Each structure stands twice: as C-alpha cells, then as structure tokens.
Amino acid sequence: MKVNYHTHTKRCGHASGEDREYVESAIEAGLEVLGFADHCPFVYPDGYVSGIRLTPAEVDGYFSSLEGLKKEYEKDIRIYIGFEAEYLPALIEKQKELLSGYPLDYMIQGQHFLGPDKEQVYVGHPFKEEAYLAEYARLSIEGIESGDYLYLAHPDLPHFLGDDKTYRKYMLPVCEALKKENKPAEINILGLADQRHYPVDRFWKLAKEVGVKAILGVDAHSPAQLLNREGIKQGEQWAEKYGIKLLEKMQELA
C-alpha cells in the first residue's frame, strides 16, 4: 500500500494527534501519497453545529495547516487535501459555497447518516428497517452519479440485520452504479483492525458479481493507525478473498 486518501484530524472531535504526526507516520509507513479527508462540515439552516465533524469556522485552519505541511514535506511525500462527506442534497449547495475558494483536491463519499436531521439515523448501528437501507442506497447512488466524489468509503457500513434478498435488492444497484461510473469501493482498514461489523461479506460478493474495483482506506483517526501493517495486510487479503481488483492509486490525483 503506497497511498491512503482517508485520513482524519482531531478537528472532527473523535480523532487524536497533530496534523504533522499523521504526515510523519505516513512517511514512516512508506506511503508515497497521504490524503487528508476529515469529516466535512455542513451549514445547517438553523445554525446547528455538529460535534462529529469540522465546524465551518475550522475550515480555514484545516487548509492553512495542511498547505503548510504539503510544502514542508514535498520532498518526502505527496499530500492532498480533501474531505469525507455524506451526499445530502438539501445541504450540498451551502457546503459547496463554504468550500469555494479553498484548494480542495477531492471529496470522498461516506454515508454515515440518513438525511439532514442532525445525525439522528446512523446506519452503523444495527437496524432492521428496510426503509433505512433503501434510503442509504438511494443517497449512495445519487452521490456516485453526481461525480463529486472520488470513491465510496466503507460502502458496507449499514448494519442491516435483514435477509440477504432484501440486502441484495438495494445494495446490488449501489454496486452497479459504482461499476457504471468507474468508481471504486473502499475496503476499510479501520473496520478490519477494530473488528467492527464491516467489511461485510455479502456486500463484497455483490461487488465481485458486478466487477467493482476497490481501494484500501486506512480511515485513520490517529497517527498510529497509519502504521498498522497487519491491518493493511488484512485489507489486501480481503480483496484477494473475493477476487476484487485493488487500485494502487486514484488516477484523478496522479
């Protein structure tokens, strides 16, 4: 693994470590490319400020810090500055306005929540409601088709407790959209390393069936996670297990 585009910072409120420490860990790990993609802020109509992503006021500092490190370490590693965000149509335009004027390299799509309702429905919690899975799939597909995102992070995050037939009904079209738009799905190293409920076998069986490509994402919430060689090995083995082609890097950022 020579590239990682999924790196957070302490600004999101649930990660630790200084920006510089992430860069130095990436260099120690032998990475050639480090992409920062912290949880992107949304601008809520009622002024609500999320506690699990950057605040709008922190965007300026995010870019200034990472731009400085990008220049300082340019001989050692290539640094890209991006964000991870849900595709939430009601909030997208204000988000784009917030980010306009900044040197944004990319966005990755991470559908943690359903709807602009202040993070009330988190799909990573166990659920049985078919409607939640349907909405997750709808938003994922619309985001993929928008062309605004580099790839779909932890596509198998939904902790759906229902049967395989229902899962296939909604998640197969997600895989088909990824294939059609030539976007990879992320094999999430954090999920493997922490033994979370994802990656999910039944998702990757569908991905194999459709011919979806994958990319590894550390989803680093601490500098040490970039040094987790065992987790990276597990990710590579996961791709091999299902016969999924792993991309070494994103050509859009080559």
What does each C-alpha distance from 14 to 8, 68, 106, 138, 221 come to in angstroms?
9, 23, 22, 27, 7
Summary mean pLDDT of the chain = 97
**How far does Cα 95 stand from its chain's mean position?**
17
Whether the predicted pLDDT of 27 surpasses 70: yes
Domain enclosing residue 52, as ranges: 3-253
Q: For position 26, which CATH number holds?
A: 3.20.20.140
Find out whether 9 and 21 touch, Cβ atoms under 8 Å. no
Do 147 and 181 touch, CB atoms closer than 8 A? Answer: yes
Is 117's pLDDT higher than 80? no
pLDDT digits (tens, 9 = 90+) for 138-151: 999 999 999 999 99
At CA 183, angle to CA 217 and CA 190, rounded to 5?
Answer: 15
pLDDT number for residue 100: 97
| Confidence at 115, pLDDT banded by 50, 70, 90 | confident
Closest CA to 121 of 134, 103, 102: 134
Per the structure, how many domains does the chain have? 1
Q: Average pLDDT of 113-130?
A: 89
Query: Binning pLDDT at 50, 70 and 90, where does residue 135 land?
Result: very high
Each residue's pLDDT tens digit, 153-191: 999 999 999 999 999 999 999 999 999 999 999 999 999
Output the pLDDT for position 116: 72
Q: Is the distance from CB of 32 to CB of 247 less than 8 angstroms?
A: no
Residue keyed to tokens 């991309």: 247
DSSP string, 175-244: HHHHHHHT-PEEEEHHHHHTT-S-S-HHHHHHHHHHT--EEEE--BSSGGGGG-HHHHHHHHHHHHHHTP
Q: How far apart are CA 69 and CA 73, in angstroms?
A: 6
